[in-house]
Chains A and B, each alone.
Chain A
C-alpha cells in the first residue's frame, strides 16, 4: 500500500507495523508446521500425545487466520462481491469504495471494542495450561484494530481519488 502521501513519521510507523505483522505471521506459521509435524512423530514413534500442543496448534489457527486477514486488508484481497463497482466510472467507483471503507472501519472498531469487553469478562481464566486467557485472546482486538487501520489508509486514497487529487491505477 503506497504511503507517499503520509507524513514521514506516520509512514515509518506503518512500515514498522507491517514488518511486525509479517514477521509474526511467518513465525507463527513456521511454528504451526513444526509443531504439527512433531506431534505426529511423537504419536507414531512414542505413542505420546501432548495435550497442550494440540491446544496450542488450535490457537495458532486463530492467530494465523486473523493475521492473514490483516495482510489481506492491506492488499485489498478480502472476499467481496464485485458486481456493481466494476461498471462504475472510475471516480464514482473511488467514492463508492470510500463509502464501503467507512463501513468496514466502523464494523471493525465495533468488533475490536467487543473483543476488549470479552477479554475483560474472561479475566483470570486460563486459556489452557499456564497460558492466561488474555494472552491467547489478544489477537482478536489487535487484528480488528489493525484491519480498521488498513481501511483508514485505503479510505484516504479512495477519497483523494474520488476528488481527482490522485491518479486511479
Chain B
C-alpha cells in the first residue's frame, strides 16, 4: 500500500493541514516536499510514524529520545510538546491524525486521537485509534463479542502491520537524516544487523523459534510424560509374573492329581474299617478298655448296694415305729442324764451350805444343839430334794441303755435318722446303673469276641490310613504354599495390570501434547537451520546490491566491491581488496554510504512499501543529490517521499 493522504489537527505547528499524495506511477513515483528548517518537515514524518503506530512508533523517532528513561513518561512529554501551541487557548484538548493508505485493491483509513487535560497533560489512557476500510469507510470490525480496548488496539496494530509494514521496520522505510547518520557510522554494525535481520524477517523467525521452544516446554510440562520405557518395564514385570505363575499352576494341578488317588484310598480304608468295626472304628484294645470301664462301674454300684445291705437295710427293715420308739427312749435317757448331771452339780453346793453350819463365826446364840443341827441339816437337804422333784416329763424314769454314753446315744439317733431318709429312688437308680453297666459290659464282650479274628486286618488298614493321612497332609501343605504364592502373584499381577492400564491411558492422552511439543521443536530446529543457511546468502546479496547502489550514488569510483560480514560489519574494498572506508570520510560520503545500505536493504527485502525520508540530502553536494533522486526515481511504482530543504 502507499500513502494517499495525511490530515493533521493541532499537531505541532500544524493547526490543521491536509497532504494528499498522488498515486505512484511508472514515471512519477517521487514526491518532494520542500520546506526550510523549522517549517514542519520532521513534524510531518513524525505524524506519519505516530499516526500509523502510536506509542509503538516512538523508537523510530530520533528526536523523541529524552533524558527520561521511563518510556511512558517520554511518550507523554513528546505528546505534550506535540499539541499545537494555540490549541489549549482555543479550548481544543486533542490531537487528531488521519492517514489514508491505498493500493489497487484496498483502502485503509487510520484515525488516531490523543487527548489532554485543560492544562495540557497527556491523558495517555484515553488515546483512540479507529480503522475504516474501503471507499465507504466501514469501521474495521474487531473479532469477538465484546473485545476489550487492549484487544481492539492489538487487533488494529496487527491489521496495520499486516497491510502496511510492521512498526519495527519503520526505521528502514520512514526515517530522517539523523537516522541515516547513525547508520552511516561504522560502529553501528549491531544496529545494521538488527535492521537487516528485521527487514528480512529473521528477527520474527527467531521470535517464532523461541515461542515454539517455549510452547514445547510448556506442553511437555503440562502432561505426565510416561516414557515408553516405563510402560515397557511394567509390562515386562507382568510377563515375568505370568511366567512364574504358569509352573506354579501346573504344580498345583499335579499335586491335585496326586491327591485324588490318596483321597480315594483313604475313603476306601475308612469305609472298610467302619464296616469291620460295625460303624466303630476302634480296635479291640480300645473296646476292652471300654469294657473294663463298664465293669468297674458295675462293681462300684454293687459295693454301694452291699454297704446298704450291710448297714442301713436291717435298720430300714425294723420298721418305723420301732426306730421312733428307740429314738424317743434314747432321747429321754439323754434328758435324764442331763437332769441328773444338773442335780449332782447343785448337790455339791448344798454340801458346802451344810458344811457352813459347822462354822464358829458368827457365833449362833444360843448355840445349837447336836439335834437341832441334825434337824436343820435334814431340813435343808429335804428342801433341796424338793427342788429336783418331780423330774422333767420327757425325762426317762430309768436308763435301759446304760452301756451308752450320751454321745453314743446321739450317734444312734443320727444313724436312725439317716435310715429314715434312705429313699426308694436312690435304690432304684443304683439298680438301674447296675443293669446299664452290665448291658454295656456284655455288649462290648460280644463285640470283642467278634473282632478277635479281624483285628490284624484292621490294624493293617489303620496303619495304611495313618500313612496316607500323613502323605495327604504333606501334599496339602505343599498345595497351600503354592496357593498362597499363586494368590500373591495374582494380586501383584492385578495391580500391575491396572497400573499398566492407567499408564497406557495416560500415555495415550499425553500423546497429542507430546506430539505437538515434538513437532514444535522440530519446526524450531528447522527455522534455526534455515536462518543459518539462508541468512548468509542474503547478506551476500545485500552486499552485491549495496555495491550496485553505492556505485550509482557515489561519484568516486575507488570502491570496487562492498563486503558485508554476517555480523553486518561493512567493508568498502578497493582495487587491491583492501578496506578503503576511512574514518575521516566526509559527512556526504557517509550519507551516501548509509543511503546505499538503506536502499539495498529495501530492495533485497522485496517489501513494496513507501519510503519516506526527512532531509536525506542536506549534507550532499548537487551531484550526489542528483544521483540519489535518479536512483529512487528509477524504482517505478514505488512511492518515495523526500522531505527536503528547498535548495
Do chains A and B stick together as partners? no
Footprint of A on B, CB under 8 Å? none
